[in-house]
């Protein structure tokens, strides 16, 4: 049974029929706990694809469903991590991680704090829980953003180039830390990246999107053995 299913999905930003759609004719099934990476050149439609799965953008053709139900808006069981960490500078790391709970329920308890600390520890940030975001490096802040998205325990995690602002060494370290988190905390993941090596390191399957003038898109899928 598919967790995420796209059938003939496309999106056009411009109603002018002379301008090709951003993406068109995408069929994709993502299984439970599958980690799928999407690579491809700038402008091939990766973010558009992710935003349709996230319910932030309505497809102009085809249908997107999550858990067998057509997507009609953002939902709590789908977490999103964007390119920039967007931590709140006036809250400690732990409070940033707990912020979505506070936002959603108006409060959080001891158990939530414990879980936040556990997730921070998994991300190698146990000694930073009481620090302010500007005391952390960019890579650490980005990890806090991922931990924050995991705290609500979403069934699906969508990440749009979460590491693109980081240098190669930091990216690699975060890659390994993420693998650890995933081994203990498996999720269904769609991960957009510019980096083939990052995709191969992290994913079970890599989708390669390419842009050909006129035809818009071709998608190739490569299954990887797990290390
Ligand atoms: P990628 O994430 O692979 O870089 P995008 O999904 O951002 O690609 O963009 C796919 C295409 O859609 C590009 O040609 C881009 O210029 C266009 N596009 C993206 N967002 C918008 C928008 N808000 N309005 C109009 N065109 C857009
Ligand atoms: P609601 O509309 O019910 O308040 P949100 O829109 O805050 O829900 O959250 C929707 C999803 O986005 C959640 O699954 C959550 O994990 C994720 N999310 C919310 N805020 C953030 C954030 N600041 N950073 C990363 N993910 C977030």
Whether 51 lines ligand 2, by a CB cut-off of 6 Å, is: no
Question: What pLDDT shows up at residue 187?
Answer: 84
Question: What pLDDT shows up at residue 123?
Answer: 83
Residue 68's region, left for phi above 0, alpha for psi from -120 to 50, else beta, is left
Report the nearest atom of ligand 1 relative to the CA of 42: 4
pLDDT in tens, 66-97: 999 999 998 888 988 888 878 999 999 999 99
Complex-level ipTM: 0.64
**Nearest ligand to the CA atom of 91:** 2
Q: Hey, what are 153's tokens?
A: 């325990």
Strand 188-192 to 156-160 pairing: parallel
**Nearest ligand to the CA atom of 156:** 2
Q: Please give the full DSSP string across 169-199, using - where no structure is assigned.
A: HHHHHHHHHHHHHHHHS--EEEEE-S-HHHH
pLDDT in tens, 90-125: 999 999 999 989 988 999 999 999 999 998 988 889
Low-confidence ranges of the chain (pLDDT < 50): 213
Let me know: does 223 contact 205? Beta carbons within 8 Å. yes
């Amino acid at each position: 049974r598919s967790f995420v299913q796209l059938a003939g999905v496309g999106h056009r930003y411009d109603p002018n029929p002379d301008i090709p759609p951003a993406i068109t004719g995408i069929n994709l099934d993502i299984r439970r706990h599958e980690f799928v990476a999407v690579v491809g050149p700038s402008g091939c439609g990766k973010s558009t694809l992710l935003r349709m799965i996230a319910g932030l953008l309505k497809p102009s053709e085809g249908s997107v469903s999550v858990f067998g139900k057509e997507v009609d808006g953002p939902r709590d069981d789908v977490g999103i991590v964007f390119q920039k960490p967007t931590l709140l500078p006036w809250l400690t790391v732990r409070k940033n991680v707990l912020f979505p709970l506070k936002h959603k329920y108006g409060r959080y308890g001891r158990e939530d704090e414990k879980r936040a600390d556990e997730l921070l520890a998994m991300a190698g940030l146990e000694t930073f829980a009481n620090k302010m975001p500007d005391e952390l490096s960019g890579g650490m802040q980005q990890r806090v953003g991922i931990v924050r998205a995991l705290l609500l325990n979403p069934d699906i995690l969508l990440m749009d180039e979460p590491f693109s602002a980081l240098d190669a060494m930091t990216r690699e370290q975060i890659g390994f830390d993420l693998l650890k988190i995933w081994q203990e905390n498996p999720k269904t993941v769609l991960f957009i990246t510019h980096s083939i090596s990052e995709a191969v390191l992290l994913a079970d399957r890599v989708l390669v999107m390419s842009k050909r003038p006129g035809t818009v898109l071709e998608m190739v899928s490569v299954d990887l053995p797990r290390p």
